[in-house]
Structure formats: C-alpha cells, structure tokens
Chain A
C-alpha cells in the first residue's frame, strides 16, 4: 500500500478547513478564502476520480482497505470501498466544489466559517461512505449533523433556530437507538468490523430489534414518511449551499446505510420488514407528491419532491433484486445531481428577487433565457423523462417492484403522474405566462459561474440518462454478490 487514498480523501478537506481557520476573512481577501476552499475540494475531486480509475469493477471485495488499531481489541479505524460506496464518494467530492462556487451571493457574513463547515462536512460524508467499522461509521454519521446544524442555525433564514432544532431533534432521536444497537452487536458478536460481521452473520433472534434500531435512524435521515417533516423546514431556512449539500449528499447516507447494513447484516429481519418499507415508501411517494402539488414556496416544493424521490429509493432497495438496488443507487446519484441543481436554480432567483414564493414570478423566460433552459433540463430530469438519469433509476426500481408486488408497483407508478404535474406546474408558474410583476424586468440572466455550476450538473444528468453503463458497471458485481449472500443466508436459516 503506497498511498492511503481513502484516508487522504477524508483528511484533505479538513486540512483545507484548518488552513482557513487561520485566515481572516476581511472583505478584500474573501476571494482568497474561497480559492483555498475551492482548491482543496477540487484536489479531492480529482483524487476521487483517480480512485474510480484504479477501482477494480470485477470484484465485490472491499478495495483500498486501510486497517489501523484505534482502541486495542475494541475499535479499529477501518476504511475501504466497494461498488456500492464508491459512487457516493464521487458524488460527494463532485458536489462540494460546486457548492463552494455557488456561495457567492447567498452567504454574506462569516464566509470563512461557512466554508470551514462545508469542508468539514465533506470529510465526514466521505468517512460515512467508506468506513468499515460500525463505530467509525456511527461517529462520521452523527458528526455530519453538526456542520449542517450550524449551517442552518447560523446562516439560515428567519425561522432558522426552529428549523435547526427540529432537524437536530428528529435526527438525534433515531441515532441514539442506532448507537444502542451497535453496542449490542458488539456484545453479541464481539466485533464491530463490518467485513467480519458479514462473514459471521448475526443470530436471527436478535436481528429484528437491531434492524428496527438501525431503521429508526435511517428512516429519519432518508427521510421516510412520517418522519419527513423536518426536511421541508430545514431546506426552507438553509442557505442555498446548505440545501444543496443536504439534498444531494446528506440524504444519501441513509439509503447507503440501508443497503450496507440493513440488508447486509440483518437479512432475515429485512425479509420480515419489507412490507413495512413498501407501505411507507408508497405512502411517501403518493402523499408527498400531492403535498408538493400544493406548495407555494419553491424550496418547499422541491423538498417535498425529494421525499417522494427517496420513497422510490427505499422501495427499490427492499425489492432485493438486481434491477431494484441498482435502480436505487442510480436514483440516488441522479437525485443528488438534480436536486442540487434545482436548489441552485431556486437560489439563483432568490439572490435576485429575495423571494421564494412561486407567485412572485411568472413570464421571465425572455428575461433570463439561459436560466430557463437549464431549469427546464432539471425539471424534466426530476419528473423522470427518458433520456435523463432520473428515468433510468425510477424505471428500474418500478420494474423490480412490479416483479415482487403488483399493487405496490401500480401505486408507486401513480407518483410518476403526479410528479409530472407538480414539476411542470411549478415551471409554468415561474417561467412562462404573462409578466405581471414589473420588478422582474430588472432580473439579470445567469452569470458565468452560475452557468458553469448548472452545466456541470446538467451534463452528467443527460449523459447518464443516455448511457448509464459507467454507473451500472461499477456497481453490478458488488450488488450481485450482496444479493447472493442475502439469499444464501436466508436459505441456510
């Protein structure tokens, strides 16, 4: 092992943050601060691409594993990636620099600290996706809350304190139960090493309770119905960059956790609780889509649509079929790109008009044409139009769900209809129509950096819509193996 590439990925952003800590953010060197942060995150991005290049797609074993003793006989610092986790790491390193570019207008005070929060958060997120020890995973998973809490609480809107606490309350509640479960796993098996746990397996009699404990944490973070109500509030109050991180990366931790831990460690419990997940997912898809239809606040609308999209993800994971899980991962990646872009789009008009209300806008297509085109691309991706990445994920998930349960697939497909309605209606009310509000005439079209960030998100959205092979090839073997192990452990029960 020459270069500890994963540890570097985790540490680099924090080192950048450390440097920032000693930089004073006076008005003249605001730019410098931003460049330091941007440089750090870009190095990290290229490092993660290098990781993808080196990654061996033909094996399901963990790669780039680093194993260091942390607390003798108790906890090891162990990291590694397989096909399931690598894409999330790349998503994280890809979104972070775009986030940093986008902070231009939305954050006016304490820019320095804001960038530190973002970079530290990147560290934690990468840690979540590559840790192979339950305790290490837990630490990263929970630590991720702190920067987010601060981002909402310090740089948020008028009701930021309420939202930050709601966010914290919900997510902490679930997490405590997960901690208890991790401790019990240690007492039952004597290890918290994920690879060893995969081999040992956990006695079926403990699985149900443990599964529920993990579930309570993941369900809140996904978020699943009915513990989703923190998300719209958090999004509305968070600054644009915060919303982007929250939607694009933070929500993916839970989906990843379901695949890695719920399916991997507790197969028999997963089998038992599949109907529960199906029910909650379908409710999430239909209910929150209908709620999204009625929103007046653009950010809230997109937040609710996120809940619906994550409903597809949880549905796909628990079909426990190749297409379903692959669809879920693609859906998560796609949602990461698309929701990030949609929140950026809202941010763009908010920066100019300081309003998120849909009724403020209308008839601006000729005033800001570039914006209208890019916004349309992401609207279409959000409603799952074929040729965008949103379609591939959704279609695979529904296809797999149909194999398992007709009713679930039929109900979930209804969400696709409502999805088209609320997205197109949003677009129409904001972009098309007659120009009534004369203030809007002063709006300026996208500047260079905005065009750049949105185009960076549009290209993979379309590319993976037409050619998702690079994604599928990366995850195929690992998922295949996961399903084999799953079925094997069910059969041998």
Chain B
C-alpha cells in the first residue's frame, strides 16, 4: 500500500504523457486527478497510522547504485517527518490537479500539463521518502526538472523559457553545494544512509579538516554545504532570483510547486538533518541569519510589486525565511508546523489569484484591477481567509505557527535568536501590509481595467472553487487542530520521536505577555492602516513614494540582484567562453599546433621549390659553389 502512494502519480504521469493523445484530454485529466487523489487518501491513512500507532517503516524497493563501499537503494522511509510531507504533497497536489481541469480548460496541451504535474508529485514523493542522501538528490533534481518543464510550459513565450532555464541553473548552483555536501558525508562516514550517518555524527564532532585552505570543523562544513542546496531550492536570499521569474508558469504550478511543496524541500532537508545541524552552532547561526534576512528582504520587495503573482511569490520567499530561522534556533518542529500550515494558505492564495487572473482574462497587474469584490464574491471571501491566515490573524492557522516561530526565536536565548525574533515581528507587520495592499488593490477601489468591461469579469467554475474551499478549511483550522501534535511537548515525545533530533530539549517557558500580544496587535492594526493607504487616501501613499524615490526604486528593482548577477556571472562567463574559443583554441592551440606546423612546412616547401628552377646555369652555379666549398674544406683540413 505504501509503495502505491509513490507509484500512482508515476503511473498517472505515464498514462497521460504517453497515451494522452489516445485517451483524450478529458480522460487524462480524470485519470491523473483520480490516481493522485487515491494517493492522497492513502497518505492520510499512513499519517493516521503514524499519529496513533507510531507506525514506522523503511521499505527497500530495489537496489540502485552499489559500487565498492557505496550502497544506495531505492527506498521508502516512513516516519513522522515523511508522513507529514506525504500528506502535504499528495493532498495539495490532488487539489491542484482538480483545479487545473478548470484553469487549463482553454489550453491545447492538457494531457502534457497533467503529466508534468503528476510526474512532479512522483519526484517530490521520492524526495521526501528517501532513506539516503542520493535518493534525496534524485528527487531534488527531479522536482527541479518538473519545475523547469512547468515554468516553461507556455513554450512560445520567450520570458517563460528564460525563466525556466534560470530556475534550473540557479538550482544547479544550489545543487552544486548539496552534492559537495553528500561527497563530504561519504568521505567522512563511508555511507550515505541517513541512519548510519546520524549514528556516527557524535564521533566526529571535534574533527577538523582543511577545505580549500580554510581550517573548518567537518560538521560545520557538511551543514553549510547542505544548506547551500537548501537555499537554492527554497529560494533563500542570494539564490532566490529564480522564484519570482518562475511565476511565468501557469498559476496551478505556482501553487503546487512554488508555494506548497518543492520550495519547502530545503526546510525539509534541514529538519531531516537535525541530527547533524544540532552539533553545528556555526551552521545553525548561518541558517538563522539567512532565514531572517530573506524574510525581511522578500517582504520589503513585496511591498511595492505590482504583479499579483510576484507579490505572492515574494511572500512565499519571506515565509520560507521564517521556516529557516525557526530551524536555525533549533525549533525544527515549529518549522515543520509552519511548513504545514503555510501549504494550505499559500496554495489558497495562489489558486485564488489564479481565479482572479482567470476572471480578468490573464491580467496580472494589480493596478489594472479593483472594485470587483461583488463580481467575484467567492474568490474574494476565500482570498480574505488566505490573507488572514497568512498574516497571522488570531485563531487562524498562520497565527499558531508564525507566532510560535517568533516565540521560540525569542526563547532560544541566543543573540541571533533575539535578532530573529525582532526581525520576525517587523516582517509580520510588513507581510500584513503587502497582503492587504494586494486584497484592496485587487478587489476594492475603482475599476481600473481598460481592456475588458467590468461586466465581463466572471466568477470561476465550481471545479476551481471547490479546491479553494477545501484549502480554506485547512487555512482556518489546521493551526488550531494540529498545534498540540506538532509543537506541544506531547508531540515531541510521541509524534516526532526519532525523526527530529534535539540535542537539548526545547524551552518550555513562556515569553512575557506584552511580547505575546505584540504581533497579533500589529497585524490587526495593519488592516485599517492598509485600507487607509491603498483605498481611502491614495495621494498619501503616492507622496510617501515620491519622498523616498531612491528607496522605492531599490525595492521595485528587487534590490538589483538580477542586474548584478547578470554582469557578474552570465555576461562574464559568456565572454570568457568566447575568449577561450576564439583565442585559446583557434589562435593559440591551432595556430601553433596543426595549422602552425602545416603553415611552416608549406613555407619551407615554397622556398625549396624556388631552387628547382630548371635553368642549367643555376644548377651549374650551385655545383660550382658546392665543389669549391668542398675543396676549401679539404685544404683547410
């Protein structure tokens, strides 16, 4: 039964991908949605077993690479951690499959789209159920590939193609670090199996090694290298540039891959490797710093963007930052909790925005929307739920997980923890502002679209609204219901058990009351504030922009990361490549090598040819010269 959770999406993908033409569009949609839904139901059963019966299993499916001391198998590891991921992945995936039936109804390549979605689900499941780093890597690159396919799904759009390649290559940069991390693990422990590696960690705690001239503790290095991989996949600052561009893909893709599942793989990796990270203070601090920087950076950029999907993409980036700094302060279970709740409300927001884009016939700029809340009542209401959950409005799911992150950062008692808590609160405020900005600009105020009349906007069909409804139920209740299980002290002992490792037990204190109430208060206050800024008095916000023009430009251009990278890496490697080819290969190697030699021989032969003139007197003259030289030689001797 467990294996079929993984196998069904793969089968779905094969059926739809190779036989889609024969069975027709509608049938491929039904087959893929159905099989993935079955997989989701099975996952829930497994999750249930894990919660109530402490079910754990490591199923070996087949051998993969066995070379010398290296042994890698295709496996399916089930424990609390992978069970949570199984549920998130298959559940969201099933809903997105169903939603896509409506959203892609006008697209000529439906079977291909469904095949990619199912294939992605398969790769993601391989990733989360690996029992070793190499299968993890397989899934890791596999989801990257599907993401590449799906971002570039509309292959005629030049920007979509560019974004797809960018996503893959930037991820490869992260994977480069990740792969080196795996090599180092194999170098130190002679195995890549989680359990075997984790067992040996305490024995190498103080081991140091010299890496490219830097003396560093082995454990720190492993953690940093793995974290580079995590940064790539989870779009953390410096390796985040692909995520906003990835919004070129169809919206269901953004919901599934770039919000709920794939981008959380980095967080999953850090949590999965908690037995290693716990021994590396340096790496944990790094994770915290990167996490909080990303949270703040992305939120600041989201404030001024005008593309509805890009705002949500930056928001995702920012929320992933929260998860990372939660892991960084040692609260891995809280990170997982936020991952879990985030999947619901972020998928909801993305699919909701998809519904809006659908209504406006592919318009994505929020400046060209507005005033349609009566026309799209269900979408509007569901988006509000998503926004409330995201901003952490009291009693909705984001409230439980995000506030817990800020609390645990505060309680960790380290300097980086305090900073993280502070940044976390500021970012929560910013999150609230940009999220409400999105809602108000999209649904309130005057109608700004010039292309289509307001009566032409229409509510989405049921097949799209029902997945939204289900997600909104998750967005409202997931926090409240699963709070004890994920972050209660009971949960740590009975639910997570071995799957998450704590060197020292998490603090059970409570922060002071003023601290607890600070975030919810800010979040609540930001709603009227945003309403004032973006609906009531637009001049005021325009004035703010005018006064801070340089800052606005800086934020609007996303801190100029793309421009810097383009000059630094893309252009320079192209130039260098051209130099290597035109100069080194053609001029130097060939010039002195084969062409040079043959040229030299040719010159010689031209000279030699001149001697063969055919005139008797010339030959006679040469003979005379030679004869006299010979005579002179004899006489002198």
Contact between B173 and A417, CB atoms less than 8 A apart: yes
Does residue A444 face the partner (Cβ distance < 8 Å to B)? no
B62: chain A residues at CB < 8 Å are 467
List 17 additional A-B contacts (Cβ < 8 Å) besides A229-B590, A403-B186, A476-B68. A166-B594, A227-B589, A227-B593, A323-B67, A380-B145, A395-B65, A399-B183, A402-B187, A409-B180, A410-B180, A420-B169, A421-B165, A425-B165, A431-B155, A432-B152, A433-B156, A466-B74
In the bound complex, what is the Cα–Cα distance between A432 and B187 (angstroms)? 41
A418: chain B residues at CB < 8 Å are 573
B177: nearest chain-A partner, CB-CB: A413
* Stretch of B38-46, B89-97, B574-582 contacting A (4+ beta carbons < 8 Å): B574-582
B69: nearest chain-A partner, CB-CB: A322
Interface residues of B (CB under 8 A from A): 62-70, 74, 134, 137-138, 141-142, 145, 148, 152, 155-156, 158, 161, 164-165, 168-169, 172-173, 175-176, 179-180, 182-184, 186-187, 211-212, 573-574, 576-578, 580-581, 584-586, 589-590, 593-594, 597-598
Contact between B581 and A291, CB atoms less than 8 A apart: yes
The listed residue (A169, A363, A396, A420) touching B65 by CB distance below 8 A is A396
In the bound complex, what is the Cα–Cα distance between A72 and B509 (angstroms)? 92
Interchain nearest-CB distance for A478 vs B (Å): 13
B192: nearest chain-A partner, CB-CB: A399
Assess A290 versus B68: contact at CB under 8 Å? Given A416-B172, A432-B155. no
A467: chain B residues at CB < 8 Å are 62-64
The listed residue (B187, B578, B597) touching A403 by CB distance below 8 A is B187
The listed residue (A165, A287, A417, A466) touching B169 by CB distance below 8 A is A417
Contact between A410 and B585, CB atoms less than 8 A apart: no
Query: A439-460 interface mask toward B, CB cutoff 8 Å, 1 = contact, 0 = none?
Result: 0000000000000000000000
Contact between A291 and B169, CB atoms less than 8 A apart: no
Does residue A398 face the partner (Cβ distance < 8 Å to B)? yes
Contact between B142 and A386, CB atoms less than 8 A apart: yes
Query: A264-295 interface mask toward B, CB cutoff 8 Å, 1 = contact, 0 = none?
Result: 00000000000000000000000100111111
Contact between B141 and A433, CB atoms less than 8 A apart: no
B65: chain A residues at CB < 8 Å are 392, 395-396, 468, 472
Q: What 4 A-B pairs are tightest by C-beta distance, nearest first?
A: A322-B68, A290-B577, A402-B183, A386-B138
Contact between A406 and B155, CB atoms less than 8 A apart: no
Total interface residues on A, CB under 8 Å, equals 58
B585: nearest chain-A partner, CB-CB: A229
Interchain nearest-CB distance for A299 vs B (Å): 15
Contact between A472 and B66, CB atoms less than 8 A apart: yes
Query: A242-278 interface mask toward B, CB cutoff 8 Å, 1 = contact, 0 = none?
Result: 0000000000000000000000000000000000000
The prevalent SS among residues of A at the interface is helix
Interface residues of A (CB under 8 A from B): 165-166, 169-170, 226-227, 229-230, 287, 290-295, 321-323, 326-327, 363, 365, 380, 385-387, 392, 395-396, 398-399, 402-403, 406-407, 409-410, 413-414, 416-418, 420-421, 424-425, 428, 431-434, 466-469, 472, 476, 480
Interchain nearest-CB distance for B197 vs A (Å): 14
Selected A-B contacts with CB under 8 Å, 21 pairs: A169-B594, A170-B594, A229-B590, A230-B594, A291-B577, A291-B585, A321-B68, A322-B68, A386-B137, A398-B183, A410-B212, A413-B179, A417-B173, A418-B573, A421-B165, A421-B172, A424-B148, A467-B62, A467-B63, A467-B64, A468-B64
Contact between B67 and A466, CB atoms less than 8 A apart: no
The listed residue (B70, B134, B180) touching A323 by CB distance below 8 A is B70
Contact between A323 and B161, CB atoms less than 8 A apart: no
Contact between A385 and B581, CB atoms less than 8 A apart: no
In the bound complex, what is the Cα–Cα distance between A396 and B597 (angstroms)? 40
In the bound complex, what is the Cα–Cα distance between A466 and B24 (angstroms)? 30
Contact between A472 and B67, CB atoms less than 8 A apart: yes
Interchain nearest-CB distance for A261 vs B (Å): 23
In the bound complex, what is the Cα–Cα distance between A240 and B9 (angstroms)? 39
In the bound complex, what is the Cα–Cα distance between A431 and B576 (angstroms)? 26
A170: chain B residues at CB < 8 Å are 593-594
In the bound complex, what is the Cα–Cα distance between A223 and B343 (angstroms)? 50
A466: nearest chain-B partner, CB-CB: B64
A396: nearest chain-B partner, CB-CB: B67
Interchain nearest-CB distance for A445 vs B (Å): 13
In the bound complex, what is the Cα–Cα distance between A363 and B62 (angstroms)? 40
Contact between A406 and B573, CB atoms less than 8 A apart: no
A416: chain B residues at CB < 8 Å are 172, 175-176, 179
Contact between B179 and A398, CB atoms less than 8 A apart: yes
Interchain nearest-CB distance for A161 vs B (Å): 12
B188: nearest chain-A partner, CB-CB: A403
In the bound complex, what is the Cα–Cα distance between A399 and B182 (angstroms)? 8
Assess A387 versus B156: contact at CB under 8 Å? Given A396-B67, A413-B176. no
B180: chain A residues at CB < 8 Å are 402, 409-410, 413
B187: chain A residues at CB < 8 Å are 402-403
A295: chain B residues at CB < 8 Å are 581
A414: chain B residues at CB < 8 Å are 176
Contact between B67 and A387, CB atoms less than 8 A apart: no
Assess A434 versus B156: contact at CB under 8 Å? Given A287-B580, A424-B165. yes
In the bound complex, what is the Cα–Cα distance between A166 and B590 (angstroms)? 10
Assess A294 versus B574: contact at CB under 8 Å? Given A395-B179, A421-B165. yes
Interchain nearest-CB distance for B406 vs A (Å): 36
Assess A287 versus B70: contact at CB under 8 Å? Given A294-B574, A402-B180. no
Assess A229 versus B593: contact at CB under 8 Å? Given A392-B65, A395-B134. yes
In the bound complex, what is the Cα–Cα distance between A321 and B68 (angstroms)? 9
Contact between B581 and A420, CB atoms less than 8 A apart: no
Contact between B580 and A424, CB atoms less than 8 A apart: no
B164: chain A residues at CB < 8 Å are 424, 428
Interchain nearest-CB distance for B129 vs A (Å): 15
A409: chain B residues at CB < 8 Å are 180, 183
A386: chain B residues at CB < 8 Å are 134, 137-138, 141-142
In the bound complex, what is the Cα–Cα distance between A226 and B581 (angstroms)? 12
Contact between A385 and B141, CB atoms less than 8 A apart: yes
Interchain nearest-CB distance for B274 vs A (Å): 24
Assess A387 versus B183: contact at CB under 8 Å? Given A294-B574, A380-B145, A413-B176. no
The listed residue (A321, A396, A424) touching B168 by CB distance below 8 A is A424
Contact between A294 and B578, CB atoms less than 8 A apart: yes
Contact between B573 and A387, CB atoms less than 8 A apart: no
Interchain nearest-CB distance for A116 vs B (Å): 28
Interchain nearest-CB distance for B126 vs A (Å): 9
Interchain nearest-CB distance for A328 vs B (Å): 11
B74: chain A residues at CB < 8 Å are 466
B172: chain A residues at CB < 8 Å are 416-417, 420-421
B156: nearest chain-A partner, CB-CB: A434
A169: chain B residues at CB < 8 Å are 594, 597-598
Interchain nearest-CB distance for A349 vs B (Å): 17
A385: chain B residues at CB < 8 Å are 141-142, 145
In the bound complex, what is the Cα–Cα distance between A395 and B140 (angstroms)? 14
A304: nearest chain-B partner, CB-CB: B581
Interchain nearest-CB distance for A87 vs B (Å): 14
In the bound complex, what is the Cα–Cα distance between A469 and B145 (angstroms)? 25
Interchain nearest-CB distance for A458 vs B (Å): 13
In the bound complex, what is the Cα–Cα distance between A406 and B186 (angstroms)? 13
In the bound complex, what is the Cα–Cα distance between A410 and B183 (angstroms)? 10
B182: chain A residues at CB < 8 Å are 399
Interchain nearest-CB distance for A334 vs B (Å): 13
A227: chain B residues at CB < 8 Å are 589, 593
